[in-house]
Amino acid sequence: MKTLILGASGQLGIELSSLFPEAIRTYSSSEVPGGVKLDVTDFQVLEDFILKVRPDVVVNATAYTDVDGCERDRERAMKVNSEAVRHVVRASRVVEAYLLHVSTDYVFDGGKGMYAETDLPDPVNYYGLSKLVGEAYALSYDDSLVVRTSGVFRHKGFPVYAYNTLRKGGEVLAFKGYYSPISGKLLAEAIKELVETRRTGVIHVAGERVSRYELALRVAEAYDLPKNVKEVDEVRGWVAKRPFDSSLDVSRARKLVSVDFYSLEENLKHMVV
Ligand code: NDP
């Protein structure tokens, strides 16, 4: 099976690369040893590359994930998170590759939380909107699966920020609200199973629902650090709105996937600090 990982330099991409050691891997600005430099907004180059490689499976782990950056540079958000997916789909269709595309809990408005696959998306920021359009392109192709996830962390993400801040004696500012954080490692393991079973449609793969406040306290406990955590309503410098409760209902994935990607305790073991 020839697998192509787009975005192998990201948190998820790095973990996928170790699970698919034979995969062809691409990066954009952070070089990956043995990888191919490919900017997915060079649409013609992107299509030509997929047509040349003729993969059996394409995993799209690329995204412009800077939520405030997407709000400021909407054109880039749309190009990376939406338009590029259209071109991935066009080429995947020609070579008859199965496509696994990764999306986000931020497609939801955060009004109710514990969103199921059947709930109606209604993003409150441009990142979420651009990812929702990307989903629509991916789902226009029969042989595709959209995996929605939440709060991916590895060497970046809120728990890593909390760890670094507490270690330096600082105060963690935890934005009020809930989500379903997951480690890049366990997300990658679940994705591997979903690829192997060739699931299609939409599926939610994420961790336990938790507030950022509670999560920071759990990090403090796990690493025996001071519990200097404050819950805040706003974070200085943020320009994009955040959904209040973007947690995901993952019951479908928990039935289909054997790896335990859900437990917060297990996920926190895979922070890279
Ligand atoms: P990262 O920000 O760690 O990685 C993003 C990846 O996309 C990198 O490999 C980056 O390449 C690549 N990329 C960005 N722009 C381009 C471009 N123009 N051309 C080619 N590649 C590009 O993201 P994560 O691994 O954390 O996220 C993986 C997926 O999970 C994404 O689909 C994201 O939307 C989704 N998700 C993430 C969440 C999170 O909290 N991080 C939450 C919910 C969903 P390079 O670094 O080489 O430039």
Taking only the tens place, the pLDDT of each residue in 66-121 is 999 999 999 999 999 999 999 999 999 999 999 999 999 999 999 999 999 999 99
- Whether 149 is in the pocket of ligand 1, judged by its Cβ within 6 Å, is yes
Q: What is the pLDDT of residue 121?
A: 98
The CATH homologous superfamily of the domain defined by 3-156+182-209+247-264: NAD(P)-binding Rossmann-like Domain (3.40.50.720)
Closest CA to 145 of 185, 107, 183, 89: 89
Residue among 6, 11, 83, 130 whose CB has most ligand 1 atoms within 8 A, to mutate:
11
Q: What is the pLDDT of residue 169?
A: 98
Q: What is the pLDDT of residue 122?
A: 98
- Whether 134 is in the pocket of ligand 1, judged by its Cβ within 6 Å, is no
Q: What is the pLDDT of residue 41?
A: 98
Which amino acid does the sequence have at 270? H
Q: Are 30 and 9 in contact (CB under 8 A)?
A: yes
Q: What is the pLDDT of residue 233?
A: 94
- Whether 183 is in the pocket of ligand 1, judged by its Cβ within 6 Å, is no
**Which amino acid residue places its CA nearest to atom 4 of ligand 1?**
10
Distance CA 179, CA 128 (A): 14
- Whether 30 is in the pocket of ligand 1, judged by its Cβ within 6 Å, is yes
Q: What is the pLDDT of residue 245?
A: 98
Q: What is the pLDDT of residue 243?
A: 98
Residue among 62, 100, 102, 153 whose CB has most ligand 1 atoms within 8 A, to mutate:
62
Active site residues: 127
Give, to the nearest 10 degrees, the angle between helix 84-95 and helix 126-139: 20
**Which amino acid residue places its CA nearest to atom 44 of ligand 1?**
104
Cα of 31 vs centre of ligand 1, distance in Å, is 14
Residue among 4, 5, 6, 12 whose CB has most ligand 1 atoms within 8 A, to mutate:
12
Closest CA to 246 of 216, 215, 210, 213: 210
Write the CA distances from 259 to 22, 104, 183, 189, integer angstroms.
22, 20, 13, 7
Cα of 266 vs centre of ligand 1, distance in Å, is 23
Sequence spans of domains, the chain: 3-156+182-209+247-264
- Whether 104 is in the pocket of ligand 1, judged by its Cβ within 6 Å, is yes
Distance CA 163, CA 151 (A): 15
Q: Are 194 and 259 in contact (CB under 8 A)?
A: no
Below-50 pLDDT ranges, the chain = none
Output the pTM of the full model.
0.98
DSSP codes of every residue in 140-195: TSTTEEEEEE--EESSSSHHHHHHHHHHTT--EEEESSEE--EEHHHHHHHHHHHH
- Whether 46 is in the pocket of ligand 1, judged by its Cβ within 6 Å, is no
User: Other CB atoms closer than 10 Å to residue 154's CB: what's the count?
Assistant: 22
Measured from the CA of 41, which atom of ligand 1 is nearest? 18
